[in-house]
Amino acid sequence: MNAHAPVYTADEFDREARRIETLVWEALVVEPEMRVLICGYGPDGGLVRRACAIDARVTVIEHRDDVIRRFASLGATLMRGSTSVIPAKERSFDLAVASHYLHEVDPFFHAQVVSELARVARRVAIVEPAPPTDPLGKRIALLYSQAKRELGQFEYYQPLEYWKKLLQSTKAEISQHVFAFAKVPPREYLADTIALLLATMRVEDIPQNYLEELRAIVARSDALLLPQPRYILVGAPVGELPIPQFSAREEPPALVTATAPIPSVREVTAAAGYEFPPVEPTATPAAPATPSVPPPSAPPASSPGSSPQPNWAAHLEPPPTFVPGLPFGAPPPPSAEHSVPPFGMPFAVPPHDAGAPATPAAVSPFGWEWEPPEDPNSPP
């Protein structure tokens, strides 16, 4: 990371974090009396609380008794069940929201869950963190993913195109937004993130070796951890996609001087990297002579004159190579002859002639093919 990259102060970072939470909420377009289905309460019940506060008719689908008891006072209607088979009639809701939910679900069931949400709601919203892009973030995400797998759980981050294709298979029109921080967070962000992870992992009885390695990372690393951008995708039938109204950015306080301005790249404009319907590629217009807002850029790489970064990676396994379309932290893809689809309709068996060899079903929109199960009566 460039030593001269602009860095938030603690107060600036806290304000920007609240700003991004507000943008995410406004992108959902939740209104009073709207019938809203939310997948789980989340870590703090924040989305449920906010929807109830504006008098939306909120239903939460949840099955964990301890979580249900913890958030019983929020006032939402409880629906006990699983999102893979939602106990509700078609179009029972105006909006269904899976916020920070699907990356904790087995990717094999993603298509089934989104299909159920689309069945019971006219609009479906997916809110997910982007896969980390910096080496330190990748290392921490990989450790947490491996630890969750040992407990039979999931923690996989997917690229934007993955969620977009998933939603496009159920709804005709899609809007998408990406909200990210414009500067680097302060050093305290790494310590706070590790502390939160350790507290969560202790409650989940994560193996001790993962806790020790996370402590070692925060103790010996001077790197700055980059927060993950937020993806917000909303799908709806043709002509039913509402246009969100985003609030204006508040003026920075007087303590921010002219020598350290807050970049304005987070304005919700096409030039800043935001995309609203239509989301399909369109003809590229002629570039203006003087662009008004520069597009957001990736964190600059270290220059020859920048200070060297601590070689913490020399003591750890190298971060994984991200494979587009596969869950972050997932094992490398198997060979084609043994590949297993990461999601799909696992219960649909295509018919075929008894005397003919089994053939795969039509290729899914995600590029995977159905493979029939092995005959349990066939000799090994």
Position 67 scores a pLDDT of 92
Position 375 scores a pLDDT of 57
- Rounded to an integer, what distance in angstroms lies between the CA atom of residue 25 and that of residue 157? 21
- What element of type H or E holds 122? strand 121-129
Residue 62's DSSP bridge partners are 80
Residue 125's DSSP bridge partners are 97, 234
| Surface-to-core class of residue 304, CB atoms within 10 Å of its CB (0-12 exposed, 13-18 middle, 19+ buried) | exposed
Position 376 scores a pLDDT of 54
pTM: 0.67
Position 4 scores a pLDDT of 66
Per-residue tens of pLDDT for the chain, all 380 residues: 555 678 899 999 999 999 999 999 999 999 999 999 999 999 899 999 999 999 999 999 999 999 999 999 999 999 999 999 999 999 999 999 999 999 999 999 999 999 999 999 999 999 999 999 988 899 899 998 999 998 889 999 999 999 999 999 999 999 999 999 999 998 888 888 888 888 888 878 888 888 888 888 877 766 778 899 999 999 999 999 999 999 988 765 554 443 444 333 333 344 544 343 433 444 444 444 444 444 444 444 444 444 444 443 344 444 444 444 444 444 444 444 444 444 444 444 444 444 444 444 444 444 444 455 555 555 55
Query: What is the three-class DSSP state of 193?
Result: helix
In Å, how far are 84, 337, 353, 370, 372 from 360, measured between CA atoms?
Answer: 24, 12, 13, 5, 7
Instruction: Order across the sheet with 173-179: list the strands.
Output: 77-80, 57-62, 35-39, 93-99, 121-129, 230-236, 173-179
Using the CB atoms, write b or e for 156-182: b if 16+ within 10 Å. bbbbbebbbbbbbebbebbbbbbbbbe
Q: Are 230 and 258 in contact (CB under 8 A)?
A: no
Position 273 scores a pLDDT of 44
Position 221 scores a pLDDT of 61
DSSP string, 163-187: HHHHHHTT-SEEEEEEE--SSBPPT
Token pair listed for 75: 């006032």
Residues 6 or more apart whose CB falls under 8 angstroms from that of 10 comprise 186, 188
Query: What domains does the chain contain, in order, with CATH numbers?
Result: 10-244+267-274 (3.40.50.150)
Helix 208-220 × helix 135-150 angle, to 10°: 170
Q: Find, among 349, 320, 368, 318, the residue nearest to 107 by Cα.
A: 368
